[in-house]
Structure 1
Amino acid sequence: MTRPGGRHTQPVQHEDGQRNVVVHRDPPTAHGHQHGAGPVPIGAAARWVVVTVLSLAVAAVAIGLAVLWPSAAGEHPIPIQFRSADGGAMRTDTATVVAQARAECQNPMTGVAVDAPQSLGVAPVVDGPCYATTVRLDSGADKGRFVLLQVPTNRAQSGDGPGQPRLDPATADNPAPGQPTLRVDNTIRVSAVPGIDGSLRYSFFDFARGPAIIVWAILFLVAIVVVAAWKGLRSIIGLVFAFAVLGVFTLPSILSGHSPVAVAITSSALILIVVLYLAHGVSMRTSAALLGTLVSLLFAGVLSWLAIRTMDIAGLSGDQAMNLQLYSGTISMTGLLLAGFIIGALGVLNDVTITQASATFELAAAGEPSRLATFRAAMRVGRDHIASTVYTLVFAYAGSALPLLLLFSVAAQPFGSLVTTDQVAIELARAFVGGIAIALSVPLTTAVAAALVTISPRDGAVPAGR
């Protein structure tokens, strides 16, 4: 006999007289997926659309590299702040702090290399207005010799005259603003400037952070590789590739006079294509994330242009921007600002899109009955991701602008005037553009990934390209 749903039942007589019923399912129809006979084939059209679009993107990146490749027309002049007295590149040597004492300022031996510390003529003075710091040169032409560096304290810059800062006892012995805090055994870098007589004069340049940076880099590598295994190692290789692109192509191309926006888009696309496939493997899952990221990056570029135009952002409020404008007036600061927006959106967009693509494929594999159901389930994950990422984005920019915010908090100016200044507007525009790009990337990437999964109503889903 036949029961509803196309199932046939047949009584079976056992030796104990009991009757059981065996249920027979109908044979698979021409549309076998309607009865769970097999998985629904991947959408061939969606697959070929993705492959075609990504192939065109790769071709466009190749053309962009060929057109925008930096020219080899001589070296660029050295900026003034990095130029030595003779017009060449600034020379720096390493040195170690060997002694320190409070003393009077304006010692005539400051910056002169001598064979013995006693030749520096340091006379300790209790509560002296300067720190007399003796350093031993560890490299350069005067290696092994000693140099005196003087660091003024707040006491040296205070006074009772009009316009002079009052002395605060709590900070009187601290180095003056902009001066380094040096201690014995510190390793530093000193700049070497040729004097009139040909001898070198030395002054503090920066701290030597090489060993500390190497240690932290090793800890970073170990943490990533231990937790993420081979994927983590591939992501580190991709990160090295990304910095290589910035150093070999992006920066030289902009200095050669090419459009910063075109260079940024080409660089970002190249980095995304290589890094995503390197870290996550060649698959439909990765291709969905890549396509979503590339399209979202284009949206971010358009949004950045609109934000800069509508907010009238000049990008000249920072010291680096002003120095660059003085160095090369041919570089468009607006274009450079826009390029920074585009490159800055790479990381957060990559994070969101790869997570969405993975979530979509895993949800399909867990047994979602259709692509629409898979899309809806993945979007629920995506909404949570958007909410958390927006916080990350905004607070990251707020943290980088914390010194500026502290200055504004005591500026005694209306809040509306402060948040509309060029410096704050840049950070707000970054956050706004990044947030909108994230919100657009989630449904876009999810839709692409949902179109690429393979659905099996009976046995669950098997993601394509795994």
Structure 2
Amino acid sequence: MNRKKTLKTTGAMLLASVLAWAVGVGVGNIVIKAWDYEDSWVVRLEAVRLSPVQGESDEGWLLQSFDLLVTFLSGESAGDSGSITVEQLEESHLKLSSGRSYILMADRFPDGFVQYSVTDRFRLPWVISFLLFSVLSVCIIAGWTGARAVMGLGISLLVLVKGFVPAVLAGYPPVPCAMVALAVLSAVTIFLVVRRPHCRPVVFLGTMGGAVAAYTMGASANWLWQLTGLGSDGATLFASTFPGYDMRGIFLASVMVGSIGAVLDVAISVTSAMAELADYDPSIPKPRLWKAGTSVGREILGSMINTLILAYFGTSLVMTMMMVNSEPSFAFLFNDPIVSQELVQSLAGTIGLLLTVPMTTLAGLWLMKIKTTDDL
């Protein structure tokens, strides 16, 4: 039976990979046909030859020239082939390979000279393929539970992108907007994932309690440390391009959004364990149920805190390497605004996780029904 199930799963995964590839190619072809950006084309490189001619940019960067044989895939010249010469920085990490598709752009100068450059890989088909394959894999391996999780993730992203972000851009306070968005996406996720109806309020209260705890920790550190919210290149660019926004509030909102996934996971795990114990022994004393909930929470916290902090570390790995390479002093390192902002995110998320356990357990003792035959 297990062998038959394994073969069935393997076949489904192979079919999913073929389907994902086909959809990716199809979407890529649709985008290429609709490509109408001025002086920009999608091309396939047929041959690449490094030219001996080298130059230097106005900023002093060394330039390399490549003689390319390309086939145009978009625009009025689609299907035509031709030879062009492009320049790119010597230290550019974009390797030009024959048989792959790239984005070609032309810079036109007043004297009629045209300078071509390859700006990036046209990777959209593979991005679509990988995304679709990942979604199908979750659904195949985890079944309806995985499908519900994917639906919850999709709705959560929709709430953030179509609700929270436009509200902040419209001038509404970031923190209240984040609270509303997190409440909505948490409620949707809980409804889809938690199948015991009477357990859903428990998970929701524990999750929102953890989010509020993360905000409280982040706001306290933000006030005492006098952070500006400009501890990243993206935040600095946004503030200089669109002045007038509350960057501190946006930073605190990002702290809550960044921790909500781990907080929700802990709340669901603690509630599930308490519900199973209540099913097994409907007469279990509340002190025993409290001890069980907090014990399970402590077991989960170690890995979840690692997951949260290492996720933040991974996003700032390049900056960390630069700082380590410069060998800063201890005082300078921990006083740096970039490091301080990363610390606030990590510490606030950690406190949010820690307080999620007792808050969820208290909510479970208060709201959870003892006798139930449903499944979580």
Q: Under a length normalisation based on structure 2, what TM-score does the superposition of the two structures give?
A: 0.79
Secondary structure of 1:307's counterpart equals: helix
Larger radius of gyration: 1
CA distance in 2, matches of 1:233, 1:200: 51
CA distance, structure 1, for counterparts of residue 361 and residue 68 of structure 2: 61
Change (3 A) 1:152 1:464: closer
Contact 2:87–2:116, Cα closer than 8 Å, also in 1: no
Q: Against the structure 1 CA distance between its residues 301 and 134, is the aligned structure 2 distance closer, same or farther, given a 3 Å change threshold?
A: farther
Contact 2:65 2:85 (8 Å CA) reproduced: no
Query: Which one of 136, 148, 153 corresponds to residue 85 of structure 2?
Result: 148
1:56-455, aligned counterparts within 5 Å? 92-105=40-53, 130-145=65-80, 146=82, 147-153=84-90, 176=91, 178-191=92-105, 196=110, 202-281=116-195, 283-367=197-281, 369-455=284-370
Unaligned runs of 5+ in 2: 1-36, 56-62
Distance 1:454 1:333, change over 3 A: closer
With the length of structure 1 as denominator, give the TM-score of the two structures: 0.65
Task: Please tell me whether the aligned partners of residues 228 and 248 of structure 2 are also in contact (alpha carbons under 8 angstroms).
Answer: yes
* Letter of the 1:151 counterpart: Q
Distance 2:320 2:274 in 1: 40
Taking every aligned residue pair, what percent have the same amino acid on both sides? 25
Shift of 1:197: 8.3
- After superposition, the CA RMSD in angstroms is 2.7
Higher percent of residues as helix: 2
Within 2, Cα distance between the matches of 1:219 and 1:417? Answer: 45
Distance of 1:212 and 1:274 partners within structure 2: 30
One-letter amino acid of the structure 2 residue matched with residue 138 of structure 1: L
Alpha-carbon shift at residue 91 of structure 1 (Å): 7.1
Unaligned runs of 5+ in 1: 1-88, 108-127, 154-175, 456-460
Q: 1:243 to 1:194 in 2, by over 3 A?
A: farther
Q: How many residues align?
A: 330
CA distance in 2, matches of 1:130, 1:369: 76
Residue type of the alignment partner of 1:104: P
SS, match of residue 151 in structure 1: strand
Residue 103 of structure 1 aligns with an amino acid whose one-letter code is: S
Of stretches 336-345 and 258-267 in structure 1, the one that deviates more from structure 2 is: 258-267
What secondary structure does 1:410 align onto?
A: helix
* C-alpha distance in 2 between matches for 1:133 and 1:420: 50
- The answer (yes or no) to whether the contact 1:296–1:441 under 8 Å persists in 2 is yes
Secondary structure of 1:104's match?
strand
Task: Between 437-446 and 423-432, report the one with greater CA deviation.
Answer: 423-432
Q: Following TM superposition, by how much is the alpha carbon of 1:410 offset from its aligned partner in structure 2, in angstroms?
A: 1.6
CA distance in 2, matches of 1:188, 1:442: 50
Shift of 1:436: 0.4
One-letter amino acid matched to 2:307: T
